[in-house]
Amino acid sequence: MPVADVKTLALGRSQEPLGVEDILALTSKGRGLYDDLLRRVQDPRDDPDLPGLGPNHHFNIRPLDTSLDAETIAAFNDAGHPVTNYILVAVRNLPSPLTAHIAKLHDPYQNFAHTGGKALLCMDNDASRDALFGQKGVGRLYMSDALAETFAREHGADWRDLEAIWRMNVQNQQTRGLVAALFGDRTDPQDFPAGDDSFFALLGSPNGKAVCRMLATYPDMFGRKSISKVRVFPIGSRRVQLNICWFLEKAPSPPTPTPSPAPATPDHPLSRKERRQHHRRLASQQLATSPSTPTRSSRRSHGRNISAASAP
């Protein structure tokens, strides 16, 4: 085994596991992200426009071999994901007065996009390598937007056949600490279905939330997909990288509301009191199932609120 691989393996095994409080915080964050995703993919509104890279970044796109090792190729084959026909899409800083103080500009985002739109391999992504990261007055490039732009540059705004997003060779210390806590000494890959606490914790980690936010921000572009499960490949005796695969599926359609049954029509002549009660029930049911009409006083109150909000 090469020296570099031995060092990577040693680092992965010695990763300090996250504590219980940190795991619970990630679980709560992941559950909120997942709920937002489901609400958004069932929302009929159109996607927002892609933000573009602006004047400070550009793409470098070229065919390049993914150089996957034999263990990873076997994992791809087992998942039914393609191992060939990818292109490298790298986001780079453009030289400008804002980056003049940087001796050498590095690519903050480097990903392989499948030419058939089936998978995305997130190979090397680190926002802190962006020369503009943390600078005031400069629009931040979020990874979720960078990933969406990556797709759009290769296939236009249609990646409805996307099946999986892989986070390759994960280096983030929080994610690695979470995996160390979840797996302990186990090294076999494991699936965590949506709804499982471990699924939510991984979704709330830095290597899950960008995927979830991208799907929630651009649901039409990705065929209104949600995440069905996550598969984790921990570092082991034959595996020198921590890899995480997010499996996508078509989100369920929102439930169709069931109309309330109409009040039963009495089978005998009604007294005057019974007629009044019957009409009131009908009116109440119609009011509950029809859009509310603002009263004169509510319209005046709404107008005052708008005037106050727009006053200098």
Mean pLDDT in residue range 34-52: 89
pLDDT of residue 293: 45
β partners of residue 244: 167, 232
Q: Are 276 and 204 in contact (CB under 8 A)?
A: no
Q: Using the CB atoms, write b or e for 66-86: b if 16+ within 10 Å.
A: bebeeebeebbeeeebbbeeb
Per DSSP, helices labelled H in 46-88 are 70-79
What's the one-letter identity of residue 252?
P
Q: Is residue 63 classed as helix, strand or coil in its secondary structure?
A: strand
**pLDDT higher at 301 or 48:** 48
Mean pLDDT in residue range 141-169: 78
Instruction: Check pLDDT > 70 for residue 12.
Output: no
Average pLDDT, the chain: 78
Distance of CA 54 to the CA centre of its chain: 22
Give the C-alpha separation, 220 to 211, whole Å.
15
Q: Which tens digits make up the pLDDT trace of 236-288? A: 766 778 999 999 999 877 666 666 665 566 666 667 777 777 677 767 766 55
Mean pLDDT in residue range 289-298: 47
pLDDT of residue 204: 97
Q: Which tens digits make up the pLDDT trace of 45-69? A: 888 887 777 677 777 777 878 888 8
pLDDT of residue 183: 93
Q: Are 98 and 141 in contact (CB under 8 A)?
A: no
Instruction: Check pLDDT > 70 for residue 97.
Output: no
Instruction: Check pLDDT > 50 for residue 299.
Output: no
Mean pLDDT in residue range 221-234: 94
pLDDT of residue 185: 87
CA 100-106-109 angle, 5° bins: 125
pLDDT of residue 268: 65
DSSP string of 136-196, one letter each residue: TTS----HHHHHHHHHHHHH-S--TT--EEEE-S---HHHHHHHHHHHTT--S-EEEETTS
DSSP string of 210-241, one letter each residue: HHHHHHHH-TTTTTSEEEEEEEEE---SS--S
Residue 27: C-alpha distances to residues 21, 44, 198, 203, 206 (Å): 10, 28, 7, 8, 12
β partners of residue 166: 121, 245
Instruction: Check pLDDT > 70 for residue 81.
Output: yes
Give the C-alpha separation, 194 to 73, whole Å.
25
Residues ≥6 apart with Cβ < 8 Å to 41? 215, 216, 219, 224, 225, 226, 251
Q: Which tens digits make up the pLDDT trace of 100-119? A: 666 566 777 888 888 888 89
pLDDT of residue 66: 82
Q: Which of 54-68, 121-135, 203-217 has the highest mean pLDDT?
A: 203-217
Listed residue (133, 5, 145, 152) closest to 69, CA to CA: 5
**pLDDT higher at 130 or 225:** 225
pLDDT of residue 91: 83
Give the lowest-confidence range in 25-34, 150-159, 266-275, 297-306.
297-306
Give the C-alpha separation, 205 to 78, whole Å.
25
Residue 214: C-alpha distances to residues 110, 119, 133, 245, 272 (Å): 16, 14, 20, 15, 61
Give the lowest-confidence range in 7-11, 158-162, 196-200, 287-291.
7-11
- Residues of the chain with pLDDT > 70, as a percent, come to 71
Mean pLDDT in residue range 57-86: 86
CA 21-26-27 angle, 5° bins: 95
pLDDT of residue 98: 65
Phi/psi at 39 (5° precision): -65, -40
Instruction: Check pLDDT > 70 for residue 74.
Output: yes
Mean pLDDT in residue range 133-149: 71
